[in-house]
Chain A
Amino acid sequence: MFKSKTKLLQLIVTLSACAFLLIPTIMSVMAGLTANYFKGISSGLTLKWVFQVWELYADSIFLSLWLAIACLIVTLIIGLPAAYGLARHPGWLSRLLEEFISLPLAVPGLAIALALLQLYGSMKGFRASWAFILVGHVLYTLPFMVRSILAVLAAIDLKTLEEGAASLGASPWQRFRDIVVPNAMPGILAGALTVVTLSIGEFNITWMLHTPYLKTLPVGLADSYASMRLEVASAYTLVFFILIVPLLMAMQWASARAQRITK
């Protein structure tokens, strides 16, 4: 009797939390598809607002996709060898380096952006280019890539595998290419999906670094929330959800898969 009462209470709390998270999300999807939100759904469903968003903000969507791909490439180039290096040299120096590059996870993006602006703000060409925003995105996503690969590499017996290959005459580069990369694949995949998802959604750093000519999707969102009618803002949010939700689910799937290996 008591047990079922407690369970009922737990269920109510769980369902209320779900409702709190889900209802406004559904409302935003509906508002983006309703002809007139104030009159309600009876005013009819329309794709008018979605098309208007496309006309107004297509550039920002493409910039975000481009930045996400560039960010993925850079984090792979820097992160994959670095994760290998950290895995082969576990020591206090490696721990310190890993801890240091993880700072952007803990320190608010606003502070990171202010620091970048003060050091590089006067370099006009760099400041005004998309590369400046890319630096911010790489800073924020790199620790996810490094840790994701490192977790997988730490779980396999890298040393024995490499010694075996070395005794057969494989060079360090061959061992990296033929042993480390294939073994790290689940970590690379999970890291890559995390990097792309986070880059597309990044706002805190990007808002400070962006210029009027370089607006990413979340910057455009903030823009539309402040200046557009509710239907347009909602339709834009809907476009964002369509982009981010599948990525997020793929990311959770890949992370769970990589985690099974590390256990």
Chain B
Amino acid sequence: MGVRPSPYGHTMTNRTFVLACLTPLFIFSLAFLALPLVRLFLESGSGEAGWAIYLDILRRPRYLNTLVLTVLVSLATTFAALAISTTAGMFLSRNRFRGRGTLLSVLTLPLAFPGVVIGFLIILLGGRQGLVNQLTPGHVVFAYSVIGLFLGYLYFSIPRVLLTVMAAAEKLDPALEEAARTMGASPYRVVVDVIVPGLMPALIASGAIAFATAMGAFGTAFTLATNIDVIPMVIYTEFTLSANIAMASALSIVLGIVTWALLLIARSLSGSTVAAGG
């Protein structure tokens, strides 16, 4: 901690310099993150119901049904993504073959697709002019139903889960599986007794990531859920159409706390999070 002359003629200690380095970050996050979030919280209690608004979310059927539906779709997405991405991830990390890199790119590229684009891709699959409707004899349109929403969420969850599972699979010792096999374990038992326990922290972490992302997904819901009440869409309509600012704020706070807590769990288990988007 010595005081040294600087080329500009004044002196500056290490400590002041390091503090000066942190100042822009501190000011920016105070002005544009801390204060706005405090305002959001205060606003949630300023409606007619006061702070009981948080009880209203559970008491009023419209909000409770929304909450239940969002949790159910997100859970379905999580389990489907876990099943698909764990299988694909184990396959890609245990086998080396031509085209492996291409498959991996295809499976991870959608990471930076915005939710709206993913919604549109689902419309191309299951909309009125969609692929399925063209290929099948009947009138099959599912893009704007819960199934379409589920497929959209699955689309952005597969890459996220895959990356976390593959990182963990690289650390899993293939010799353990080999040993189980030579001792006569069936492929099913190898999966249940060796692979799944070894991957468990990664599975919980990536499951939490998938669930949190699906809960908060706005872009995909915005394109597909025109008639489906999921939390982000209800926040959006409460704010823009009903001008019910207090309820929009309260739902945002609840949603924010849930997704933040889930991702905290995910990070403590896997050390990294591939969140964001949807």
Contact = CB atoms under 8 A, between A and B. Distances in A.
A44 interface: no
A172 interface: yes
B259 A17 contact: no
A9 B116 CA distance: 32
A66 interface: no
A85 B21 contact: yes
Contacts, number: 257
B55 interface: no
A28 interface: yes
Interface stretch (B60-68, B81-89, B199-207): B81-89
B88 A204 contact: no
Interface residues of B, number: 95
Contacts of A85: 18-19, 21-22, 25
A110 B252 contact: yes
B210 to A, nearest CB: 14
B6 A172 contact: yes
Interface in B96-126: 103, 105-117, 119-125
A24 B121 contact: yes
Interface in A75-105: 77-79, 81-82, 84-86, 88-89, 97, 100-101, 103-105
Contact of A171 (B5, B186, B223): B5
A140 B121 CA distance: 25
B239 A114 contact: yes
Contacts of B4: 166, 169, 171-172
A2 B184 CA distance: 11
B275 A10 contact: no
Interface string B12-40: 11100111111011101100111111011
Given A6-B187, A171-B7, A107 B260 contact: yes
B155 A20 contact: yes
Nearest to B95: A7
A106 B33 contact: no
Interface in B35-61: 35-37, 39-40, 43
B33 A103 contact: yes
B180 interface: no
Interface of B: 2, 4-8, 12-14, 17-22, 24-26, 28-29, 32-37, 39-40, 43, 84-85, 87-88, 90-92, 95, 103, 105-117, 119-125, 129, 131, 154-155, 158-159, 181, 186-187, 212, 215-219, 222-223, 232, 235-236, 239, 245, 248-249, 252-253, 255-256, 259-260, 263-264, 273, 275-278
